[in-house]
A and B are shown apart, each in its own frame.
Chain A
């Protein structure tokens, strides 16, 4: 194995809950692995499965989708659709020969700064154990 593998994880965070929770981790000065690059969307339901696949096929070691807890979605039911899409995505990702655990779906509320930090830490550890994304050499997308 080469020296320390530092994963690159893309995180889609919804503006109202999970992005706010991530900000709270910041204002609380909690330590969060720098593996995550957050991308803000208005609702987790905006996360197009093709975007997730693009990320993975371009070599992202992990993709996180985070939204409001079920029932709390700022746009009523958006996160229920996220959940459904995620279930299908996992199967698609497997069919591409990738480990479905490279995908993570989490519900993080605006007051859960610590939880955000914990989830990113856990996910990073998991990805480290899995090793780098075998698709890393693809840059055509």
Chain B
């Protein structure tokens, strides 16, 4: 039997695919897990994708069984709308302070019927849908989000802005809406911490020559993912801002690579995936892919690339890309492989941006007592010991919080961090 002392709980920060995977594995070995998630939903970035490379598997089908397992797991204490405020103590005995914001909806009483949405008078841009559709002040981010319980956005809710409104509460038949919920401070004692806080995408506003936000129909990768998603703002219909179906599109790789100074390793593959997305909905569409180096490591990835090439896409090794409006269309000037200046005209542009650290990464690093590398990702102690180990024993970094990587590598790291924790606490092993 495993010797379990009172400090055998584990803290996992981030309920994306890495955090969920690590938590489920730890629970399987009868460890109690506190899984902290800053958003109101689980699944992180991966639930924004309709399909994943290279076999174009449905992302929701892949992840929702894990999310369901998570929600039903007795060993996992899922704390949502929560962040870590303070960590003290030493390996094996960390004292963690959590700040939990109120959802204002009772998770036990709410049955997910969504009757509270319609009556809400407030309508704002839905961040989950990358601003492509709206939501109410009481909302779930998308159809199928888990847990299927809404939360109230106090920055926009009339009541929390001092106005007199209780439309949602009036509509709820289950006494699930509770305006009196308060912020909570939770203290936990844990043996180890796994940091699985994920990433964000490089903001193309920092590279104005791509025309993002200045030209209609220039989309970022995540915006395009939501456009294609069957549970997204257009139910998967790919259309331009004017409602028309694009006849041509360009996918531009390596957005922000120069500024960031590294290759994000997944963008070429997901750019090819976008190619597949476009062709599957609009078979006659003409597609251009502009890239610098094709980075497709992974035993099954080149096969996928060859398949996409055969659908008639034009691949251009391009530099000096500049995107401008040309009437109703978009012009992309660039220098090709042979050094010649060229111009292509398309209806739609998709930008594939670099993976960059979260805005609050360094703040969390300070709290945890770990450091960030020059690029802002969490720093591993020594790549040739193990990339999940930090100089602070007991604190592990996994997934894109440690550096850009695909889902397979993320899951491996989550498994590895659990491996390290369970290994150290095997009976008879000196931790």
- Does a CB–CB distance below 8 Å link A and B in the complex? yes
Give residues in A with beta carbon < 8 Å to B.
16-17, 20, 24, 27-29, 68-69, 71-72, 74, 109-115
Judge whether B229 and A16 touch: CB under 8 Å: no
The listed residue (A68, A71, A111) touching B231 by CB distance below 8 A is A111
Expressed in whole angstroms, the minimum distance between the Cβ of B53 and any Cβ of chain A is: 12
Judge whether B148 and A111 touch: CB under 8 Å: no
Q: Per-residue CB proximity of B215-245 to A under 8 Å, as 1/0? A: 0000000000000011100011000000000
Expressed in whole angstroms, the minimum distance between the Cβ of B290 and any Cβ of chain A is: 29
Task: Give the dominant DSSP class at B's interface.
Answer: loop
8 closest A-B pairs (Cβ-Cβ)? Answer: A109-B58, A111-B60, A110-B61, A110-B60, A72-B57, A71-B55, A111-B230, A17-B61
> Given the interface contacts A109-B60, A114-B230, does A16 sit within 8 Å of B65 by beta carbon?
yes
Task: Give the dominant DSSP class at A's interface.
Answer: loop
The listed residue (B61, B235, B236) touching A16 by CB distance below 8 A is B61
> Given the interface contacts A27-B112, A27-B143, A71-B56, does A109 sit within 8 Å of B231 by beta carbon?
no
A-B contact pairs, 26 of them (CB 8 A): A16-B61, A16-B65, A27-B114, A27-B143, A27-B148, A28-B143, A28-B231, A68-B58, A71-B56, A71-B57, A72-B62, A74-B61, A109-B61, A109-B230, A110-B58, A110-B60, A110-B64, A110-B144, A111-B59, A111-B60, A111-B61, A111-B229, A111-B230, A113-B143, A114-B235, A114-B236
Whether B380 is near chain A, meaning CB under 8 Å from some CB there, is: no
> Given the interface contacts A24-B144, A28-B143, A113-B143, does A17 sit within 8 Å of B58 by beta carbon?
yes
Q: Per-residue CB proximity of B45-60 to A under 8 Å, as 1/0? A: 0000010000111111
Expressed in whole angstroms, the minimum distance between the Cβ of B26 and any Cβ of chain A is: 23
Besides A72-B61, A110-B64, 5 more A-B contacts (Cβ < 8 Å) are A16-B61, A20-B64, A27-B143, A72-B55, A111-B231
Judge whether B112 and A111 touch: CB under 8 Å: no
> Given the interface contacts A20-B64, A27-B143, does A113 sit within 8 Å of B57 by beta carbon?
no
Judge whether B58 and A69 touch: CB under 8 Å: yes
Expressed in whole angstroms, the minimum distance between the Cβ of A17 and any Cβ of chain B is: 5
Residues of B within 8 A of A109 (CB): 58, 60-61, 230
Expressed in whole angstroms, the minimum distance between the Cβ of B135 and any Cβ of chain A is: 14
Give Cα A28–Cα B64 distance, bound, in whole angstroms.
Answer: 16
Residues of B within 8 A of A24 (CB): 143-144, 231
Give Cα A62–Cα B229 distance, bound, in whole angstroms.
Answer: 30
Q: Per-residue CB proximity of B100-144 to A under 8 Å, as 1/0? A: 000000000000101000000000000000000000000000011
Q: Per-residue CB proximity of B24-64 to A under 8 Å, as 1/0? A: 00000000000000000000000000100001111111101
Give Cα A27–Cα B62 distance, bound, in whole angstroms.
Answer: 19
Judge whether A68 and B61 touch: CB under 8 Å: yes
Residues of B within 8 A of A112 (CB): 58, 230
Judge whether A111 and B144 touch: CB under 8 Å: yes
Residues of B within 8 A of A114 (CB): 230, 235-236
Expressed in whole angstroms, the minimum distance between the Cβ of A11 and any Cβ of chain B is: 18
Q: Which residue of B lies closest to A25 (CB)?
A: B143
Expressed in whole angstroms, the minimum distance between the Cβ of B261 and any Cβ of chain A is: 36
Expressed in whole angstroms, the minimum distance between the Cβ of A56 and any Cβ of chain B is: 29
Expressed in whole angstroms, the minimum distance between the Cβ of A39 and any Cβ of chain B is: 20
B50-99, CB < 8 A from A:
50, 55-62, 64-65
> Given the interface contacts A17-B61, A20-B61, A113-B231, does A27 sit within 8 Å of B144 by beta carbon?
yes
Give Cα A69–Cα B59 distance, bound, in whole angstroms.
Answer: 12
Expressed in whole angstroms, the minimum distance between the Cβ of A124 and any Cβ of chain B is: 20
Q: Which residue of A lies closest to B62 (CB)?
A: A72
Expressed in whole angstroms, the minimum distance between the Cβ of A13 and any Cβ of chain B is: 13
Residues of A within 8 A of B60 (CB): 20, 109-111
Expressed in whole angstroms, the minimum distance between the Cβ of A78 and any Cβ of chain B is: 13
Give Cα A40–Cα B236 distance, bound, in whole angstroms.
Answer: 27
Expressed in whole angstroms, the minimum distance between the Cβ of B410 and any Cβ of chain A is: 20
Expressed in whole angstroms, the minimum distance between the Cβ of B71 and any Cβ of chain A is: 14
Residues of B within 8 A of A27 (CB): 112, 114, 143-144, 148
Judge whether A111 and B65 touch: CB under 8 Å: no
Give Cα A109–Cα B56 distance, bound, in whole angstroms.
Answer: 12
Give Cα A114–Cα B229 distance, bound, in whole angstroms.
Answer: 11
Expressed in whole angstroms, the minimum distance between the Cβ of B150 and any Cβ of chain A is: 12
Expressed in whole angstroms, the minimum distance between the Cβ of B238 and any Cβ of chain A is: 15
Q: Which of A29, A69, A74, A115 has the most CB of B within 10 A?
A: A69
Give Cα A33–Cα B112 distance, bound, in whole angstroms.
Answer: 23
Q: Which residue of A lies closest to B55 (CB)?
A: A71
Expressed in whole angstroms, the minimum distance between the Cβ of A137 and any Cβ of chain B is: 41
Residues of A within 8 A of B236 (CB): 114
Expressed in whole angstroms, the minimum distance between the Cβ of B145 and any Cβ of chain A is: 10
